[in-house]
A and B are shown apart, each in its own frame.
Chain A
């Protein structure tokens, strides 16, 4: 069984986890064209190499980030999402933009 080191629960069977795709920065919703927004929502880069992905430990519903090499399928490191998302990000409304 493949082992995933969960930042909250420690090493666990990979069957306890669900992967939710790569971590992508959200563009400003009100200043982004349809094509770029669709790209953000639907498309993935499918990088061959090291990627950052969202993973969830299902028994605890705990979401975290894992760095994984998609070529060797090695999990390099995992950490809480708070290490990346350190501050609240507010977006301006559609009519408030310059």
Chain B
């Protein structure tokens, strides 16, 4: 039996996941909730309304003068406008949070470190001080919890928690809203998975357990439930 405590890294909501009966597996150095006992049923739940914890997955950020240009030089497709995201060839997302700031989210389908770790290593491998400005790294794996809210009822659920109109016809795929969700600052990135409406939700890791409970409470009337990473991956398969 794999337990989150067996790994160097575990989710900010690992205790909540454990209480909910999660089955954990390894993802690099981290324990990740793969399912809650029935991944086939969870895949169905994820199409209606599911909440998955992606906090153990790799992610990073870069900010400051020259950061966007440096990322482009590394082969990352960075959106021209702020508050838009672009999908990369490996399924990762580059989310432009401001003219000089990009958040890189690893792909839920990927097994381990992937693009975020490769970019961090590439940045660190270049000499300091930089010959040309390349911004500075902004690690996001410890600062932010990362959830995925998916399913046809997701926008209706968000309407109870968030002032920004996230309905699919008002908030196009790969749009970003940096706003307040359930009274805590959050980054919302719409990223439909295999035709199912889905939103990444990143928030201060210190608020992770609070927001996890808030979301589950708001999901009750839609019969939404926690789902594991296996169900998220199944969405991506279509």
Contacts and interface: CB of A to CB of B under 8 A. Distances in A.
Interface of A: 1, 8-10, 12-13, 15-16, 57-60, 62
Given A60-B97, A60-B98, A62-B98, A9 B83 contact: yes
A10 B83 CA distance: 10
Contacts of A1: 163
Interface string B166-186: 000000000001111000011
**Which of A9, A12, A57 is the most central at the interface, judged by chain B CB atoms within 10 Å of its CB?**
A9
29 contacts: A1-B163, A8-B82, A8-B83, A8-B98, A9-B83, A9-B178, A9-B179, A10-B83, A12-B163, A12-B164, A12-B179, A13-B163, A13-B180, A15-B180, A16-B163, A16-B179, A16-B185, A58-B180, A58-B185, A59-B178, A59-B179, A59-B180, A59-B185, A59-B186, A59-B187, A60-B97, A60-B98, A60-B178, A62-B98
Contacts of A8: 82-83, 98
A16 B177 CA distance: 12
Interface in B94-116: 97-98
Contacts, number: 32
Interface string B40-58: 0000000000000000000
Nearest to B203: A59
A57 B178 CA distance: 9
Given A9-B177, A9-B178, A12-B164, 20 more contacts: A1-B163, A8-B82, A8-B98, A9-B83, A10-B83, A12-B179, A13-B163, A13-B180, A15-B180, A16-B163, A16-B179, A16-B180, A16-B185, A57-B178, A58-B185, A59-B180, A59-B186, A60-B98, A60-B178, A62-B98
